[in-house]
Amino acid sequence: MSDLTELSLLQAADALRAGEASSAELTRACLDRIATVDGRTHAFLTLTPERALRQAGKADRRIAAARRYGDTWPGVCGIPIAVKDVLCLEGVPTTAGSRILEGFVPPYSATSVARLEADGVVVLGKTNTDEFAMGSSTENSGYGVTHNPWDSDRVPGGSSGGSAAAVAARMAYAALGTDTGGSVRQPAAFCGVTGLKTSYGRVSRYGLIAFGSSLDTVGALARSAADLVGLYGSMAGPDGRDATSAPEPVPQVILDGSVRGLKVGVPEEYFIEGMQPPVEQAVRRAVDVFAGLGAQVRPIHLPHTDLALPVYYLIAPAEASANLARYDGVRFGPRRGGDDLMSQYLSTRGELFGPEVKRRIMLGTYALSAGYYDAYYGQAQKVRTLIRQDFDAAFAEVDLIACPVTPTTAFGIGQHGDDPLSMYLEDVFTLPANLAGIPGIAFPVGFDGEGLPIGMQLNAPRLAEGLLLRAADAYQRVTDWHTRRPAEA
């Protein structure tokens, strides 16, 4: 095979199954690709080539033994992937994109990563992220900006921008990401790949460096929905080390190419003033494709959608302010000096936290402070319940909800640098799913006039990831948007 990195994850797995390629060959091809491309993309923060090649060799031996005895092996065995740098990987530096964790090497791996490695996945390295996953562009990393492979002057989205860019630029067959308010789906849309946000609790958060504990979810990005099935199957399921892990078993995902009879709701609240016309047009065309495949499309209403943004930016910063209190120069990472303990706290946090993290800590601390808790945080939680009830009511009538991922395509690097609110507005369509704890999947449905990818998302009831993957796969069987690749990558 001339260029192994052009294969999709499923094609790479087929090549392994047929003996046409080895895991070591796939891994070397990805590492060579990273060496060629990542200098202008900056998707990776840490590469682990020796570790990856050891894992590849182990996977090849596992496959050879299984073939010898007529056994099977996991579909993801031997596949090289990348991991967002907010997920702990034993013995590998893990920074969460922050200087305050520089030099931190965890003694354990996140459950999601450990389960994949147990099934034979090869980890190439750790990808760039907005600091502590706080951002929508991967411009807030303490280690430099990641560039969109479709246009290096534009952002890849965030906070899983490094993972999305790695997949789009063919440096990895898939990548793990996390989604607290859209951080898998939005970069998937900006980079023209497919991203799955799992239900809250479906994939263990053990080993995930926390941002918002009631919002954080672990997901994955790949070229297609079909590529994501094996990754999801390996990661998902109960975990005794995570008290918020869903106890329900994980059904097998069946991709039959059919959406006939499914009821798809289209919320009019998601088609807002200011949305770029090509985005709305592409999403509505994609909805028409579902109708053509036999789905029943109908308008629905999610009346509290416009409240999701203020609710999220009260709850998420409040949880962040509590979670980030532990980074004080005592327990993790570097320490800045001071004449006393308080001076050490102030200098360490003041010098090593970035401006966006400081902004959210201040917002959250204010919302939780005496005299303001009930008026802000408490009230936000009540409205969050209304948002969840909106989805409950909608899913009593429809099976899936189809809507845009973002109001625009990828914006320019630095475009929102002086206006945090305009950056927050980029997440207006993705935040509700996190507040409600439901799953979502984003996938490419077209391009704008400048050749930038446009994404659409589907949402489903809690724990219905299989339905999302089935529906997105049915769409991708009759379209080819997900097969396009960036020219400059």
Residue of 159, 163, 245, 321 marked active site: 159
Q: How far from chain centre, in Å, is Cα 27? A: 22
Question: In 10 A of CB 420, how many CB atoms?
Answer: 15
Could you confirm whether 84 is annotated as catalytic?
yes
- Peptide bond before residue 112 is cis, with ω within 30 degrees of 0: no
DSSP states of 117-146: HHTTPEEEEEE--SGGG--SSS-S-TT---
Q: In DSSP terms, which residues pair with 296 in a beta bridge?
A: 263
Local structure of residue 374 (DSSP, 8 states): I
In what helix (H) or strand (E) does residue 350 lie, and over which residues does it extend? helix 341-352
Residue of 8, 22, 23, 84 marked active site: 84
Could you confirm whether 58 is annotated as catalytic?
no
Give me 122's structure tokens: 């090869």
Q: Return the percent helix, strand and coil in the chain, to nearest 5.
A: 45, 15, 45
Q: In whole angstroms, what is the distance from residue 320 CA to residue 111 CA?
A: 22
Q: In whole angstroms, what is the distance from residue 188 CA to residue 195 CA?
A: 5
Could you confirm whether 159 is annotated as catalytic?
yes
Strand pairing of 453-459 and 400-404?
A: antiparallel
Q: In whole angstroms, what is the distance from residue 192 CA to residue 171 CA?
A: 14
In what helix (H) or strand (E) does residue 195 lie, and over which residues does it extend? strand 194-197
Local structure of residue 116 (DSSP, 8 states): H
Residue of 137, 163, 183, 245 marked active site: 183
Alpha-carbon distances, residue 355 vs 127, 158, 478 (angstroms):
21, 16, 45
Contact call for residues 458 and 474 (beta carbons, < 8 A): no
Q: Which residues are catalytic?
A: 84, 159, 183
